[in-house]
Amino acid sequence: MNKFYRAIKIVDREIDAMEVGEVDSQTYNYSATVFSHYDWDEEELDDLAKDLKADPDIKLVTVFEGCAIPWEMLYEIVRREEFEHCPSRTEVIFAFTNPDSAVSWARRPGQTSRYLIVELIPVEKAINSTGWHKFDTNHAWLDKATEECSFREAREYIRNYWLQTPYHELYSSPESLLTGKFAIKVYKSPSTTVVANQENDNKHR
């Protein structure tokens, strides 16, 4: 049986939805959950794409002048321009193929929140469903793009993500982008609740 795992921040809105039930990638996805935000509109995305193309060699930290870099917009710009056959991160559920990877993600440097590990199981015969699909790639490529990169440099890392290029460095973060309908429940194990490693976090601040 295909099973996937995911770590979510422990907040009331998420807990209520996650105890048991079914979710669909069209309604429960990156943009619908509280830990990720897609608040741009199409015109804003188009304008940013034009600006980046106009001068792709300026460092991103300069382009955005101290503001938070809207990384998801950059990922979507590259996807739309070169990889339209790939699923948009705005319309998927991201998950891992084993619970240990979900735990590792929750304990990544810089995280101090408490997380819940949940299990996703594809609903094979959902009504009016075309089935479920997964797109396997490695988030570590996206992590290589930093504010000190130009868009030209960041674009190559983002392209490797969408190309599903194997990642061979020490730190790796394989993930699956899921579309379709899934049964979802809290994963019952000793590591259901995960607290980030404070000592490890402090070393990376």
Give 29-63 pLDDT, tens digit per residue. 554 443 344 567 889 999 999 999 999 999 999 99
Q: Which two tokens stand for residue 83?
A: 């990889």
Residue 88: DSSP 8-state: P
Residue 117: predicted pLDDT: 85
User: For 160-182, what is the mean pLDDT?
Assistant: 88
Statement: residue 138 has pLDDT above 60: yes
Residue whose tokens read 């190309």: 163
Residue 120 · residue 3 · CB < 8 Å: yes
User: For 168-190, what is the mean pLDDT?
Assistant: 80
E-strand stretches of the chain:
4-9, 20-24, 93-95, 114-122, 133-138, 174-179, 181-186, 193-195
Q: What is the dihedral of CA 191, 192, 196, 200, to 10 degrees?
A: 20
Statement: residue 125 has pLDDT above 80: no
Report phi then psi at 160, rounded to 5. Answer: -65, -35
Alpha helices in 55-203 (DSSP H): 60-63, 71-82, 99-106, 140-143, 151-163, 198-203
Q: Which two tokens stand for residue 94?
A: 């991201």
Residue 1: predicted pLDDT: 66
Residue 148: predicted pLDDT: 95
User: For 87-112, what is the mean pLDDT?
Assistant: 83
User: For all residues of the chain together, what is the average pLDDT?
Assistant: 79
| Alpha-carbon span 186 to 170, nearest angstrom | 30
Bridge partners (DSSP) listed for residue 114: 195
pTM: 0.79
Report phi then psi at 88, rounded to 5. Answer: -70, 140
Q: Distances in Å between the alpha carbon of 21 and those of 11, 64, 164?
A: 18, 41, 31
Most confident of 7-21, 36-50, 148-162: 148-162
